[in-house]
Amino acid sequence: MQKQQADCTGTSVERRSFLGGAICALTSLIGGTLAVFGGKYLLGTPHEVSGAWVDAGEISNLQGGSPHEITFEKSRSDGWKIHNERATAWVILNNSSITAFSPLCTHLGCAYGWQASQAAFVCPCHGSKFAADGKVISGPARRPLDQYDVKIEGTRLWLGPLKNSQAS
Ligand code: FES
Protein backbone atom coordinates (compact mmCIF):
# COMPACT_ATOMS: atom_id res chain seq x y z
CA MET A 1 0.00 0.00 0.00
CA GLN A 2 1.34 3.40 -0.97
CA LYS A 3 1.31 6.18 1.60
CA GLN A 4 0.07 9.59 0.50
CA GLN A 5 2.43 12.49 1.13
CA ALA A 6 1.34 16.05 1.83
CA ASP A 7 3.06 18.92 0.08
CA CYS A 8 2.17 22.45 -0.91
CA THR A 9 0.98 21.43 -4.35
CA GLY A 10 -0.78 18.18 -3.37
CA THR A 11 -4.44 17.76 -4.12
CA SER A 12 -5.21 15.07 -1.56
CA VAL A 13 -8.14 15.83 0.71
CA GLU A 14 -7.07 13.49 3.46
CA ARG A 15 -6.69 15.02 6.90
CA ARG A 16 -2.90 14.91 6.96
CA SER A 17 -2.74 16.47 3.53
CA PHE A 18 -5.20 19.15 4.56
CA LEU A 19 -3.13 19.99 7.65
CA GLY A 20 0.04 19.98 5.57
CA GLY A 21 -1.59 22.36 3.09
CA ALA A 22 -2.83 24.61 5.88
CA ILE A 23 0.67 24.77 7.36
CA CYS A 24 2.13 25.58 3.92
CA ALA A 25 -0.47 28.32 3.40
CA LEU A 26 0.14 29.79 6.85
CA THR A 27 3.92 29.68 6.35
CA SER A 28 3.56 31.40 2.97
CA LEU A 29 1.30 34.07 4.50
CA ILE A 30 3.76 34.78 7.33
CA GLY A 31 6.72 34.77 4.93
CA GLY A 32 4.94 37.11 2.52
CA THR A 33 3.95 39.49 5.30
CA LEU A 34 7.52 39.56 6.66
CA ALA A 35 8.90 40.14 3.17
CA VAL A 36 6.55 43.07 2.50
CA PHE A 37 7.08 44.83 5.83
CA GLY A 38 10.78 43.93 6.03
CA GLY A 39 11.35 45.35 2.55
CA LYS A 40 9.40 48.48 3.42
CA TYR A 41 11.50 48.88 6.58
CA LEU A 42 14.83 48.30 4.80
CA LEU A 43 14.09 50.46 1.80
CA GLY A 44 12.51 52.92 4.15
CA THR A 45 10.88 56.22 3.61
CA PRO A 46 12.93 59.40 3.57
CA HIS A 47 13.79 60.70 7.03
CA GLU A 48 12.44 64.11 6.26
CA VAL A 49 8.96 64.19 4.83
CA SER A 50 10.19 65.08 1.38
CA GLY A 51 8.80 67.94 -0.62
CA ALA A 52 6.70 69.08 2.30
CA TRP A 53 6.18 72.80 2.82
CA VAL A 54 6.30 73.97 6.41
CA ASP A 55 4.46 76.91 7.94
CA ALA A 56 7.27 79.03 9.42
CA GLY A 57 5.12 81.75 10.95
CA GLU A 58 3.85 85.27 10.45
CA ILE A 59 5.86 87.53 8.15
CA SER A 60 4.95 90.49 10.34
CA ASN A 61 7.26 88.99 13.01
CA LEU A 62 10.24 89.51 10.71
CA GLN A 63 12.24 92.71 10.86
CA GLY A 64 13.58 94.02 7.60
CA GLY A 65 17.30 94.39 6.92
CA SER A 66 19.18 92.16 9.30
CA PRO A 67 18.97 88.36 9.45
CA HIS A 68 16.55 86.92 11.95
CA GLU A 69 16.61 83.36 13.32
CA ILE A 70 13.19 81.75 13.31
CA THR A 71 11.98 78.48 14.77
CA PHE A 72 9.29 76.27 13.33
CA GLU A 73 8.06 72.68 13.47
CA LYS A 74 8.77 70.18 10.72
CA SER A 75 7.89 66.53 10.27
CA ARG A 76 10.36 63.68 10.07
CA SER A 77 9.50 60.07 9.41
CA ASP A 78 11.09 57.25 11.38
CA GLY A 79 9.81 53.99 9.96
CA TRP A 80 6.06 54.31 10.25
CA LYS A 81 6.17 57.03 12.87
CA ILE A 82 6.02 60.70 11.98
CA HIS A 83 7.75 62.97 14.47
CA ASN A 84 7.35 66.70 14.70
CA GLU A 85 10.56 68.42 15.62
CA ARG A 86 11.76 71.94 16.17
CA ALA A 87 13.90 73.43 13.41
CA THR A 88 15.44 76.82 12.76
CA ALA A 89 16.33 78.94 9.76
CA TRP A 90 17.98 82.31 9.23
CA VAL A 91 15.59 84.58 7.37
CA ILE A 92 16.33 87.92 5.71
CA LEU A 93 13.55 90.23 4.62
CA ASN A 94 14.71 92.81 2.09
CA ASN A 95 12.02 95.02 0.59
CA SER A 96 9.64 92.40 -0.75
CA SER A 97 12.12 89.52 -1.12
CA ILE A 98 12.66 86.86 1.52
CA THR A 99 15.63 84.53 1.77
CA ALA A 100 15.82 81.64 4.24
CA PHE A 101 19.09 79.86 4.98
CA SER A 102 19.70 76.48 6.56
CA PRO A 103 21.12 77.04 10.06
CA LEU A 104 24.05 74.69 9.38
CA CYS A 105 27.48 75.76 8.15
CA THR A 106 28.38 74.25 4.78
CA HIS A 107 31.83 73.24 6.03
CA LEU A 108 31.02 70.53 8.58
CA GLY A 109 27.52 71.41 9.72
CA CYS A 110 28.01 73.51 12.87
CA ALA A 111 25.35 76.03 13.81
CA TYR A 112 26.53 79.53 12.91
CA GLY A 113 25.22 82.89 14.05
CA TRP A 114 24.80 86.42 12.76
CA GLN A 115 27.45 88.85 14.02
CA ALA A 116 26.09 92.36 13.46
CA SER A 117 29.47 93.95 14.26
CA GLN A 118 31.05 92.04 11.34
CA ALA A 119 27.90 92.13 9.18
CA ALA A 120 28.45 88.42 8.58
CA PHE A 121 27.35 84.97 9.58
CA VAL A 122 30.20 83.51 11.60
CA CYS A 123 30.71 79.84 12.36
CA PRO A 124 32.28 79.20 15.77
CA CYS A 125 33.75 75.81 14.84
CA HIS A 126 36.43 76.69 12.30
CA GLY A 127 35.82 80.36 11.63
CA SER A 128 34.03 80.37 8.27
CA LYS A 129 32.29 83.64 7.45
CA PHE A 130 29.35 84.18 5.12
CA ALA A 131 27.86 87.41 3.79
CA ALA A 132 24.19 88.29 4.30
CA ASP A 133 23.48 86.84 0.85
CA GLY A 134 25.02 83.53 1.95
CA LYS A 135 28.22 83.79 -0.10
CA VAL A 136 31.49 82.69 1.48
CA ILE A 137 33.64 85.56 2.77
CA SER A 138 36.30 83.30 4.23
CA GLY A 139 36.72 79.54 4.63
CA PRO A 140 37.34 76.79 5.30
CA ALA A 141 33.76 76.52 3.97
CA ARG A 142 33.76 76.57 0.17
CA ARG A 143 30.03 76.51 -0.55
CA PRO A 144 27.57 79.35 0.13
CA LEU A 145 24.85 78.74 2.72
CA ASP A 146 22.11 76.35 1.65
CA GLN A 147 18.71 77.97 1.09
CA TYR A 148 15.14 76.88 1.58
CA ASP A 149 12.55 77.41 -1.11
CA VAL A 150 10.26 80.13 0.22
CA LYS A 151 6.72 81.26 -0.51
CA ILE A 152 4.23 83.55 1.13
CA GLU A 153 0.58 82.61 1.53
CA GLY A 154 -1.50 85.38 3.01
CA THR A 155 0.54 86.66 5.92
CA ARG A 156 2.41 83.40 6.51
CA LEU A 157 5.91 82.40 5.46
CA TRP A 158 6.28 78.85 4.13
CA LEU A 159 9.58 77.00 3.80
CA GLY A 160 9.99 74.30 1.19
CA PRO A 161 12.73 71.81 0.42
CA LEU A 162 16.32 72.76 1.20
CA LYS A 163 18.44 73.42 -1.90
CA ASN A 164 22.11 72.50 -1.61
CA SER A 165 24.33 75.30 -2.88
CA GLN A 166 27.24 74.76 -5.24
CA ALA A 167 30.83 75.81 -4.58
CA SER A 168 31.62 79.05 -6.39
S1 FES B 1 31.77 73.74 10.54
FE2 FES B 1 31.67 75.85 10.17
S3 FES B 1 33.67 76.39 9.73
FE4 FES B 1 33.80 74.29 10.06
Domain boundaries defined on the chain:
1-44, 54-163
**Ligand 1 centroid – CA 114 distance (Å):** 14
Closest C-alpha among 89, 92, 91 to residue 74: 89
Ligand 1 contact via 145 beta carbon (within 6 Å): no
- The verdict on the CB of residue 141 being under 6 Å from ligand 1 is yes
**Residue 147 burial (C-beta neighbours within 10 Å; 0-12, 13-18, 19+):** buried
Positions of the chain with pLDDT under 70: 1-13, 24, 32-51, 167-168
pLDDT single digits (tens) 112-148: 999 999 999 999 999 999 999 999 999 899 999 999 9
pLDDT at 47: 47
What is the full DSSP assignment across 143-159? SPPPEEEEEEETTEEEE
Torsion angle (degrees, nearest 10) of CA 88, 164, 97, 76: -40
Please give the distance, rounded to the nearest whole angstrom, from the Cα atom of residue 111 to the centre of ligand 1: 8
Which of 3.10.129.10, 3.40.50.720, 2.102.10.10, 3.40.640.10 would CATH assign to domain 54-163?
2.102.10.10
Cβ pair 57, 156 in contact under 8 A:
yes
Count of CB atoms within 10 A of residue 65's CB?
11
Q: How far is the CA of 29 from the centre of ligand 1 (A)?
A: 52
Q: Is 104 in the pocket of ligand 1 (CB under 6 A)?
A: no
